Structure 1
Amino acid sequence: MKRVGYWIDVKRNEVPNLEDQKETFRNAGIELVRLDIDQPLTEQGPFDLILHKCNGLLVAADDDNSTAVRQINNIKDYIRDNPSCILVDKFEHIQRLLNRHYQYQLVHDPLLNSGYNVFVPSFVNLTTADKDSNMLVQKLKEANVNYPFVCKPIVAQGNNDSHSMSIIFDESGLKDIKTPCVAQSFINHNSVLYKVYVVGSEQFIVEKPSVKNLSPNGQDTIIFDASKLTRSNSLTDYVENDLSKTRGTPEDVTIKEICRIIQRQIKMDLFGFDVIVDCENGRHAVIDINAFPGYESVDSFGEVLCNHLMNLMSCVESVSGDAIQYSDAEKAGQNEPNTLQLCNEH
């Protein structure tokens, strides 16, 4: 039987709850063990694979939180001393997604040059040094960021403020910008956002309510929590079966190409991204990428994850004592992704 150690922050109520999936894993030949990352992992092992959702810990460790540094190092030490053990996903790959500006830079050119109708809306990194209004105007202009634009925290995941955003409509609203942040042109998309969840070569797509169409009309800055937008929210203006709004439905072939490009760039197996469809021209805009999202809307996620981890462990080969790990992320682009599955929103 394979042994998989896992860690997900139960204090933050992060999903999924793998304790509920133990029987599914056991039936597939996997013993699922919750890690105590406050202690060295050697005595808790051996492990064939370590699955983790350490996004918050990585953010805290970057801020020199001593507890988080020690916990992350306990996992790193085990992987270093046990090179045949697979880490899903690697810390260095996740860290690149935790910075919104960097993640946009990572995929901007590959998406734009893909030959498909996809792009990342214009964006610019704003720091505390840019608080002067004249400097802000210049930076926004140089980056082709137009009004209205969305200000997003530079930290994309792992803290309580990562979803706190604001929409700026004109120069009078520049005073409301809280730096550091990423300013990104707002794209009208008829209040519909598509969340794409990826598990290796499997993709699942979920439709969610989103911010309504806006124009640079000089209104006051709007501040909102992107994680709490619902159909009843006045900011979404979401009307079921409203025939006056033609929703831009994402194209399966385009979404699969976006998956392939992003996975090739980030080299990860468990991630998600948000796509909106420009209601004016049908272009698909990628507006966020997340490491190990909640997957709460993915039916039978436990089985999907279990199958993926078994595939990863079966692909590990040893050459002269050194383990070579072949993940779906590292093979991205070599194989055609599976057909998208439309999930029910929970």
Structure 2
Amino acid sequence: MRLSRETSSEDEVSPRICPSSLDVDYKVVVGYALTPKKKKSFMQPKLEGLARNKGILFVAIDLSRPLADQGPFNVVLHKISGKEWFKIIEDYQRKHPEVAVVDPPDAIEHLHDRQSMLQDVADLNMHDCSATVGVPKQLVIREDSQSIPREVAEAGLCLPLVAKPLVVDGTSKSHELFLAYDQSSLVELEPPLVLQEFVNHGGILFKVYVIGDFVKVVRRFSLPNISRRELSKLTGVFPFPRVSSAASSAEDADLDPGVAELPPRPLLERLAKELRHRLGLQLFNIDLIREQVNRDMYFVIDINYFPGYGKLPGYEHMFTDFLLSASKSKEKTGTMGNKFKLCMQY
């Protein structure tokens, strides 16, 4: 084992994989490029330990070095923003078709616009299922906040309205949500944004996690119902917190059975499969609500790429099985051996 002084962009030892006839037998080598925040939440010791037991080795990609000089990899897992990185990963995809890149940059880019992301849901034909899936009535405002009341009236949207930034770029600002109760207060909102009609849904949101073929749903607390009487008294625009945090989990709460009941499993599996196909993505979650009055009507209100799987119980087993499957689907005879050793350089 050769040793030299090299540090990665994350100030840690950067392993280089070298074909070898030694005893370390890894079926799959996964190169990962994640933000520090994502790495901390996702790369848990339990995940890495289970991966090793299944013959999967995680290797941090050094962003300060050419990607072509690293590896070889069976799978490249990434969540890094920016045109420069996307160009690097697209070039790598072209030159290494035998490697499973999760996920394609152009497909990820599709989820950075809330208008385009939900259009894929609106185009789905889910009416022959046990329930109907759609999107709330919505309107895109790209500029001129003074025109919002007029455009809302012309579009026939009903108050209250949920306001979300149009662009999803991973910043905290892109997740700032507001609830607008009256027409005159709409001018306080800052375009570009998406306005969605608020749907009473019993204060519970279903987060549907998708990892390839695996689908897992959990409950999260959300905004409570708003009655007509309450709406007549409320005015203004108010911020409200994200409901994706583990602290908002409703899994162990004492809920009314009618509210707590999970969506039908066949519906979730078909929805996930259809969106995987349309989006061209393997890793995402769907924020789903059930209409309070018509319990056979569900609405997708957001789709998030490579969400916080670390908050999902048992994600380690699903993710490692997914990586094995992704690698197997890309296997080509003679592209890579299964025997590797870590040649540490530092």
TM, length-normalised to structure 1 = 0.78
Shift of 1:161: 0.9
CA deviation map 1:220-269 (0-9, x unaligned): 2211232477889xxx9xx9536598556422222222212222211211
Counterpart Cα distance in 1 of 2:329 and 2:260: 41
Q: Is the 8 A contact 1:152 1:163 kept in 2?
A: yes
Counterpart Cα distance in 2 of 1:197 and 1:94: 16
Query: Is 1:174 aligned to 2:186, yes or no?
Result: yes
Name the CA shift for 1:175/1:245 in 2 (closer, same or farther; >3 Å): farther
Runs of 5+ in structure 2 lacking a partner?
1-25, 336-346
Counterpart Cα distance in 1 of 2:168 and 2:330: 32
Q: Which residue identity does 1:174 align to in structure 2?
A: L
Name the CA shift for 1:112/1:23 in 2 (closer, same or farther; >3 Å): closer
Name the CA shift for 1:207/1:5 in 2 (closer, same or farther; >3 Å): same
Q: Which residue identity does 1:220 align to in structure 2?
A: G
Which deviates more from structure 2 when the two are superposed, residues 23-32 or residues 101-110?
A: 23-32
- Bigger radius of gyration among the two: 2
Which deviates more from structure 2 when the two are superposed, residues 147-156 or residues 21-30?
A: 21-30
Counterpart Cα distance in 2 of 1:254 and 1:269: 18
* Larger relative contact order, structure 1 or 2 (CA cutoff 8 Å, min sep 6): 2
Counterpart Cα distance in 1 of 2:180 and 2:33: 39
Partner in structure 2 of residue 154 of structure 1: 166
Shift of 1:20: 5.1
Please list, as runs of the form range in 1=range in 2, the aligned pairs for 1:14-33 lying within 5 A after superposition: 15-18=41-44, 21-33=47-59
Shift of 1:152: 0.4
Aligned CA RMSD, in angstroms, stands at 3.0
Runs of 5+ in structure 1 lacking a partner?
62-68, 323-346
Query: Is 1:241 aligned to 2:248, yes or no?
Result: no
Name the CA shift for 1:285/1:87 in 2 (closer, same or farther; >3 Å): same
Q: Is the 8 A contact 1:275 1:287 kept in 2?
A: yes
Counterpart Cα distance in 2 of 1:223 and 1:106: 27
Counterpart Cα distance in 1 of 2:277 and 2:134: 16
Q: Is the 8 A contact 2:77 2:103 kept in 1?
A: yes
Q: Is the 8 A contact 1:190 1:245 kept in 2?
A: no
Name the CA shift for 1:37/1:304 in 2 (closer, same or farther; >3 Å): same
Q: Is the 8 A contact 1:111 1:261 kept in 2?
A: no
Query: Is 1:123 aligned to 2:143, yes or no?
Result: no
SS in 2 for 1:179: coil
TM, length-normalised to structure 2 = 0.78
Query: Is 1:202 aligned to 2:217, yes or no?
Result: no
Shift of 1:132: 2.6
Counterpart Cα distance in 1 of 2:106 and 2:191: 25
Counterpart Cα distance in 2 of 1:227 and 1:248: 18
Please list, as runs of the form range in 1=range in 2, the aligned pairs for 1:1-346 lying within 5 A after superposition: 1=26, 2-11=28-37, 15-18=41-44, 21-54=47-80, 57-58=81-82, 61=83, 69=84, 71-111=85-125, 116-129=131-144, 131-133=145-147, 136-215=148-227, 216-217=231-232, 218-227=234-243, 240-241=253-254, 243=256, 246-247=259-260, 249-282=262-295, 283-316=297-330, 318=332
Percent identity over paired residues: 28
